[in-house]
Structure 1
Amino acid sequence: MRNQLLLCFFLLSAFGYSQKKSLQTKFITTKIAIDGVLNETAWEQANVAGDFITFEPDNGKPIPENKKSEVRVLYDNDAIYIGALLHDENPDKILREITQRDDFGTSDIFGVFINGFNDGQQDFQFFVNAADGQADCITTDSNGEDYSWDAVWESKAVITDKGWVVEMRIPYAALRFSAENKQTWGINFFREVRRDRYKYSWNFIDSKLGTFTQQNGILEGIENIKPPVRLFLLPYSSFYVNADSKQKTYGTLKGGLDLKYGINDAFTLDMILIPDFGQTKFDDQILNLGPFEQQFNENRPFFTEGTDLFSKGNLLYSRRIGGSPSTRPNLATNEVVDASPATVNLINAFKVSGRTKGGLGVGILNAVTEKTSASIRNTETGVTREEAIEPLANYNVLVLDQRFRKNSSVAFINTNVTRNGSFRDGNVTALAWDLNTKKNTYNLAGDFKYSFINAAEDKKGIYSQLNFSETSGKYRYGMGAEIMTKDFDNNDLGINFQTNYYSVYGNASYRILNPTKYFNSFNTRINAYTQFEKETGKIQSNNLNFQINSNTKQNHYIGFGINSNPLESYDYYESRAENRFVIIPQRIGGFIYISTNYNNSFAIDFNPSYAVFDEAGRNSYGFSVGPRYRFNDKLSLNYNFNFFRQNNNKGYIDSINEDLNSVTPNAIIFANRNVITYSNTLSGKYSLNSQMTFNISLRQYWSYAENKNVLSLEQNGRLADFAGYVENRNSSFYSWNADLSYSWWFAPGSQVSVLYRNNAGAFERKINKEYTENITNLLNNDALSHVFSISVRYFIDYNQVKNKF
């Protein structure tokens, strides 16, 4: 009988968890002070959202009584108010590291997830940590969390003798909802107890399902509110002092304006006029020995914020906008380039994005870059001339994404680059789909893309992929295939490396859904991928790997993996010549990673790896080690050292072409070389409070390739000894970057940033293996530059200005 009662209780509990919880809010006319003290009468009269449920690691288990969480919601004509009482039996043990915005740090967290349309498509998430810091993001199931999105809202967190309290005021201008008189919103509340690494939610989030945003509860009772005019102005002024290697110092004053305007309740216009990206993070440049360009992260705020729609189809690589010129100058035999800009200036840009209540998402991105010229000098006469290497250009992206059944979508995407005059134009059109079963157990995803290049010789190409997978439960699997024709080219506004292939792939995985005796989480995965050259059917690449990831009961992350290329493959790119390939031998390798609990003051990451090829003496090995220390809640430092060595690596270094009228080289020269890479990075912060932070970011990098002997690529893809080549084609690249910055959020949405930056880089054919001497020479060479800048940005909300006047 006792067992039957327990079973009945379990079934009722599970049934209760599967239902969406509902909370009734109340309208207020009295003022709420955002001070972390819920002493207003309105709070006492508000309904309570309680009975939180564990999200992870013990999914579905009720929250312990000593961690009881009570949340109340109120609203008025301008904003929604959240009040949370978060009980904790040990308030002194609540972790509360002070960090800058959007960085949770080692802190307890409380969050609210709001979907004003209650359509399961997109959450606006607002977090407060126990140190009174803020974070916010937009979340979708397809693209995850986008923390580059920033809203302006108020919050206060206070530690008490019973736990901690959070009070929030979120203006309607920070949200999206319809103009209906009676509102029904999707809502959920989130809490993380950091010292235990346990996460809880008010409405149960079932980890067996492959969705997050569709498991919100319901907020009812909001009536007769209207979406406000969403007009925000962000004027800025920046001052730069630059000193180059010759000690020339000059100052530059810049000013501009960013604008955000809510076209209606769903769509927003973002515009930058006279952009200034002088304080964006530096690029981590490397010694690139391969046939493809290095891909950089996007660090410019305009191009990172709210870009979930523009990521559909994976066609946008926004670094193309304002990136390198698309052509190089044409030089006569007696001409040299005196000056050639490395990047193209952005004139202005805007984007319109949003989603209707019917689920139609619309995204439009447009940018214009200026004409850019190189200065060319005649070495015999001394006469200089200007040649355009990039004309006035327009970049445009259009996305139409129709969601249905709350968990599926079909999207149309078009990217277009139009360059003035006879320069190359590029256009890519795609249809992408992401289809899920009603219970989110299976997924069918894919796309079809068509590219058209308007140049001296027009090019047309296609790319398509299809993937089927099971997305729920302990055991999951997936399989798919893709095909790309030789002339597919999306590189005007996207990035793509390989073409002319077809491939098949598959994967299978297992995970635990609840903690065991030894692990809080544990998963294992096996992947297989094979790519074939489309014309010949030769294997271009193949990979088989197995990996285990785990989180122990002590919250240490431990994992290892084995990866292999079990078959020889034919690399059609390293040769840098059409229809030529080099054979890559079989390979097997492995790695281990250990990441100790970041809750501890001292933690460390360690990741060694080793691989061996089916070729005498050819192997690679390396490791990275990253200790971190949190001195107190204000000061922390993270250091990382990375070493990697490739022995007897084979790579392209040159082509010999005696017949200048022939496009086919007489000899393709490879080198048998050792490639060694070192990098040191140091980052740290000192936070005076949640609004003021000092940051440091340093990176020193050195990589060199030392050629041991020279080889020639034969027609069958093998390499043979080559005599008579005497040029020095060794490579050595050094770089140094240092950023020291201060950030002060002096008013909601308004910021003062002070930055000192110095950087240097050098490429040489001569290799000096004295490590310390190399660093000293780099910091003392002519390439070292210094920049000091101050930027002030002030947030203006039209509604606040209107209310004042």
Structure 2
Amino acid sequence: MNSKKHHFTLVLLFILLIAGTFQAFSQKKTTAIRINDAVSIDGKLDEAVWIKAPIANNFILFEPENGVPESAERRSEVKIIYDDNAIYIGAILYDNEPSKIEKEITLRDRFGTADHFGVFINGFNDGQQDFRFFVSASGVQMDCLATENGEDFSWDAIWNSEVTITDFGWVVEMEIPYAALRFSKENVQTWGINFLREIRRFRQKVTWSKIDRAVGSVINQAGILEGIENIKTPTRLFLIPYTSGYVESNQLSTESTFKAGMDIKYGINDSFTLDAILVPDFGQAAFDNVELNLGPFEQQFNENRPFFTEGTDLFSKGNLVYSRRIGGPPSTSASINENEIVESNPNTVNLLNALKVSGRTSDGLGIGFLNAITEKTYARIRNTNTNEIREQMVEPLTNYNILVFDQRFNQNSSVSFINTNVTRVGGDFRDANVTGIVYDINSKGNKYNFSGDLKMSSIYDDVKGNGYSTFINFGKTFGKFRYSVASQYVSKEFDINDLGINFITNYHNFTANFNYRILNPTKRYNSFNLNTNYYLERENSTGKAQDHWINLNVNSNTKKNDYIGYGFLVSPFVTYNFYESRVVGRPLALPESGNAFIFFSSNYNRKFALDIEPSVRIFNQENRMNYGLFVSPRYRFNDKLTLIYSTNYNLQNSDIGWVDFSENDIILAERNRTTLTNSITGKYAINNKMTLNLTTRHYWSFAENIEFHTLLEDGTFTPNNNYSINKDANFNLWNFDLSYSWWFAPGSQITALYRNNAQNFSNEIDKSYSSNFNNVFQDNLNHIFSVSLRYFIDYNKAKNWFKKV
């Protein structure tokens, strides 16, 4: 018996060894060949050198039918060549119905309804980060940095591409300079590489190296690129000077502003890059979707400034950075004496300059450093008796620092160290420091994940001191059935709000997730995912539940490529909100509730498509109920013109929230709140480098108080018939952007923008939509016209200009 077991063990080990060997050698490989003569990037592949290059073919479907070979009539062939300056990709993409190739023209980095080809390059072959370059059948470029946490399309590289539509399909030709990539200093390069092709009319995606959807990671399933030898990256020094002019006009005045500055990108070595902005200008950044905020927390906005969005994956580790803090509102408000009023209080602080250094060594160590400095900012205060004006500093000269070390290993795991620091120079302003360790460890084969973090905040104001937060998660990340369990502890003193953002502290939680998905299409669905979660959060001091719910969500994609989803969430017990009262230790009891939703998104391949999502939430409280309805039709008139309309309606009946303090009482209001947002976005593409873009938004929200209450010690409330101050709110906001954008040269752009905006607020409720819409335009509509020119200068080409002079 023991002998049989011994033989069985040897056989099993032999099988595993053979399987492992087969797996190692089954990884696809292709070879790049060196060229000595220049090639013309024209989308034709008619130079003789392309004939000699090896072919990467036999693509495999990624979705919907994962693992199935591509069809012969729509086969794909890719070749790679290189020289001392760049790598060149040539792709022949066969299609037996070339007239049906989708080719909508979009803005850069927008995929739209078009066929696409992409190359994924990992210069360190570490299975953790790709530089991805896509081009559509209409010639529009898209590029991003990709990790297993997602794709960052705010990163833009300078590269060249052309496509041609032929009688057998379409052809792509790409030139990707080494300056746009990162790789080791080795004489013999081994890169991870994969190619992706999207055939839009079938919603098919095929890849050269098979990507198994049962595995929880993608990048480490790439193939291998060999043959690149003895290359040296040129000096990576790019200068992007800009100039811009603004004319702003309203009922009060007309002002003109001229700005000029420069962005600098410098390759410190093959792996690390310095980005700096001198005299920044973000005047053409997208507007914020401001809302009527009746809650206890600030509204969180998206980051729209390019410097703080481009290539910032390292700085997002641990979620400790909310970059809108830099150049955001002052950290303090003006304090006034008797007979004084605040005449002007700035909403933002000017950014003087900023720089960041980021990159990764050949050993997988990523290093990121970001520094920004904002100027002293003052409020103007007027004495009502003497009319004398004095200035009060509300924000001193402030220095922001972020430092990140991220060590990758085993092609699927990492450990990171993050530190953020805010130093306010002079005065009684507080300083802050936050440190975190984040780990993300995956098993061999990417079947299981163990992740978490440990963070400490230090506030130097003699009040808060040190705070702590820790999180731990374990999950199964492969196959049809997946699960995870996690827990977090946050101390009362934990505060990252000087450079990050967190709303609640002093709690611990437990969460569990289970989900099921199909890996290949069925008779009804191309994809189907069922997801259920359980969540319990308790306040540390009292043990009361702050949040407690269970939900079930279903997301599916039908055979006609329509997306359907639905779900419900039940909070079966009373929970407690420790923040709505604005008083520490005074929670508001929240009743049991349940909500449900359903959404439908039709196939965007059709000229007319529709998104719709109704929702409802019911509370165990008399008359308290929420309704929501989102509707967004879109129409693609042709490959150049698309319009999208969206309306979002939300009604909250008998909502309960804080409105005031009265002597020792905390006053709550029972209120009906209605919110309606209408927006239109549109795009007209003159060609693949020139577009007209439209964005409009009208936001209207009003809250009508029905009855006032006094908050009791146990979290319940009782009617207050003595309070009678008008706390109704009626808020309108209008934004309109119309821009013309022309990429007249690689990395160089002219943008003309006309913008107008207005807002009004009143304690008098007006329930007429047309009246609100008309009134917002009468409330001092602000007009801005601006023109911005940015020109990209590559040092390697610029130095030749001077040689010719």
Q: TM (normalized to structure 2)?
A: 0.96
Q: Is the 8 A contact 2:641 2:682 kept in 1?
A: yes
Partner Cα separation in structure 1 for residue 572 and residue 761 of structure 2: 36
2:276 maps to 1:271: yes
Q: Is the 8 A contact 1:369 1:393 kept in 2?
A: yes
One-letter code of the match for 2:47? E
2:549 maps to 1:552: no
Partner Cα separation in structure 2 for residue 705 and residue 471 of structure 1: 45
Partner Cα separation in structure 1 for residue 43 and residue 716 of structure 2: 71
CA deviations 1:230-255 (Å, max 9, x no partner) are: 11000000010110232x22211100
1:802 to 788, 799, 803: 799
1:792 to 774, 789, 794: 789
Partner Cα separation in structure 2 for residue 368 and residue 100 of structure 1: 32
1:425 to 428, 431, 445: 431
Q: Is the 8 A contact 2:759 2:779 kept in 1?
A: no
1:760 to 758, 780, 805: 758
The answer for the alignment partner of 2:90 in structure 1 is 83
The answer for the alignment partner of 1:372 in structure 2 is 377
Q: Is the 8 A contact 2:601 2:610 kept in 1?
A: yes
Partner Cα separation in structure 2 for residue 180 and residue 569 of structure 1: 59
2:309 to 291, 304, 308: 304
Find the residue that maps to 1:51 and give its secondary structure.
Answer: coil
Partner Cα separation in structure 2 for residue 528 and residue 458 of structure 1: 32
Find the residue that maps to 2:454 and give its secondary structure.
Answer: strand
CA deviations 1:603-633 (Å, max 9, x no partner) are: 0000000110011111111101000000000
Partner Cα separation in structure 1 for residue 140 and residue 27 of structure 2: 30
Cα distance change, pair 776–48 in 1 and its aligned pair in 2 (3 A): same
Partner Cα separation in structure 1 for residue 124 and residue 87 of structure 2: 15
2:247 to 207, 232, 241: 241
The answer for the alignment partner of 1:7 in structure 2 is none
The answer for the alignment partner of 2:9 in structure 1 is none
2:538 maps to 1:532: yes
2:356 maps to 1:359: no
Residue 18 (structure 1) shift:
8.6
Q: Is the 8 A contact 2:596 2:617 kept in 1?
A: yes
Q: Is the 8 A contact 1:17 1:203 kept in 2?
A: no
2:65 maps to 1:58: yes
2:514 maps to 1:508: yes
Partner Cα separation in structure 2 for residue 266 and residue 24 of structure 1: 23
| Aligned ranges 1:354-753 → 2 under 5 Å | 354-421=359-426, 422-657=428-663, 666-753=664-751
User: How many aligned residue pairs are there?
Assistant: 783
CA deviations 1:617-670 (Å, max 9, x no partner) are: 11111101000000000000000011010101011000123xxxxxxxx10000
2:33 maps to 1:26: yes
Partner Cα separation in structure 2 for residue 259 and residue 45 of structure 1: 39
Partner Cα separation in structure 1 for residue 552 and residue 608 of structure 2: 31
Partner Cα separation in structure 2 for residue 642 and residue 290 of structure 1: 20
Residue 803 (structure 1) shift:
4.2
Partner Cα separation in structure 1 for residue 572 and residue 73 of structure 2: 54
One-letter code of the match for 2:562? H
Percent pairwise identity: 56
1:280 to 282, 285, 300: 285
Residue 456 (structure 1) shift:
4.2
Find the residue that maps to 1:119 and give its secondary structure.
Answer: coil
Residue 802 (structure 1) shift:
2.9
One-letter code of the match for 1:786? H
Q: Structure 1, unaligned stretches of length 5 or more? A: 1-10, 658-665
One-letter code of the match for 1:558? I
Find the residue that maps to 2:666 and give its secondary structure.
Answer: strand
One-letter code of the match for 2:272? F
Residue 17 (structure 1) shift:
11
CA deviations 1:735-758 (Å, max 9, x no partner) are: 000000000000000000000000
Cα distance change, pair 463–613 in 1 and its aligned pair in 2 (3 A): same
CA deviations 1:132-159 (Å, max 9, x no partner) are: 1100001011x31000000111101111
* Superposition RMSD in Å: 1.3
2:119 maps to 1:112: yes
Residue 15 (structure 1) shift:
6.7
Residue 764 (structure 1) shift:
1.3
The answer for the alignment partner of 1:135 in structure 2 is 142
Q: Is the 8 A contact 2:464 2:493 kept in 1?
A: no
Residue 16 (structure 1) shift:
7.8
Partner Cα separation in structure 2 for residue 265 and residue 17 of structure 1: 29
Residue 726 (structure 1) shift:
1.3
Partner Cα separation in structure 2 for residue 46 and residue 803 of structure 1: 31
Find the residue that maps to 1:688 and give its secondary structure.
Answer: strand
One-letter code of the match for 1:391? P
2:129 maps to 1:122: yes
Q: Structure 2, unaligned stretches of length 5 or more? A: 1-17
Partner Cα separation in structure 2 for residue 15 and residue 85 of structure 1: 30
Residue 457 (structure 1) shift:
2.5
1:257 to 262, 284, 290: 262
Q: Is the 8 A contact 1:112 1:190 kept in 2?
A: yes
The answer for the alignment partner of 2:319 in structure 1 is 314
Partner Cα separation in structure 2 for residue 695 and residue 401 of structure 1: 39
Find the residue that maps to 1:457 and give its secondary structure.
Answer: coil
Find the residue that maps to 2:202 and give its secondary structure.
Answer: coil
One-letter code of the match for 2:474? F
CA deviations 1:82-131 (Å, max 9, x no partner) are: 11000001000000001111111100000001111111121100001000
1:149 to 155, 158, 170: 155
2:76 to 61, 69, 87: 69
| Aligned ranges 1:191-210 → 2 under 5 Å | 191-210=197-216
Find the residue that maps to 2:771 and give its secondary structure.
Answer: helix
One-letter code of the match for 1:772? S
CA deviations 1:2-26 (Å, max 9, x no partner) are: xxxxxxxxx99x9789931111111
Q: Is the 8 A contact 1:17 1:204 kept in 2?
A: no
The answer for the alignment partner of 1:93 in structure 2 is 100
2:48 maps to 1:41: yes
Residue 521 (structure 1) shift:
0.3
Find the residue that maps to 2:315 and give its secondary structure.
Answer: helix
Residue 602 (structure 1) shift:
0.3
Q: Is the 8 A contact 1:372 1:388 kept in 2?
A: yes
Find the residue that maps to 2:227 and give its secondary structure.
Answer: strand
Residue 355 (structure 1) shift:
0.7
One-letter code of the match for 1:276? D
One-letter code of the match for 2:265? K
CA deviations 1:768-789 (Å, max 9, x no partner) are: 111101111101212x211000
Partner Cα separation in structure 2 for residue 688 and residue 126 of structure 1: 23
The answer for the alignment partner of 1:663 in structure 2 is none
Partner Cα separation in structure 2 for residue 41 and residue 623 of structure 1: 59
Partner Cα separation in structure 2 for residue 285 and residue 17 of structure 1: 53
CA deviations 1:707-766 (Å, max 9, x no partner) are: 001111011111100011111001111100000000000000000000000001122111
The ranges of structure 1 where at least 4 consecutive aligned residues each deviate by more than 4 angstroms after the TM superposition are 14-18
CA deviations 1:383-405 (Å, max 9, x no partner) are: 11100000000000000111111
Q: TM (normalized to structure 1)?
A: 0.96
Cα distance change, pair 552–15 in 1 and its aligned pair in 2 (3 A): farther
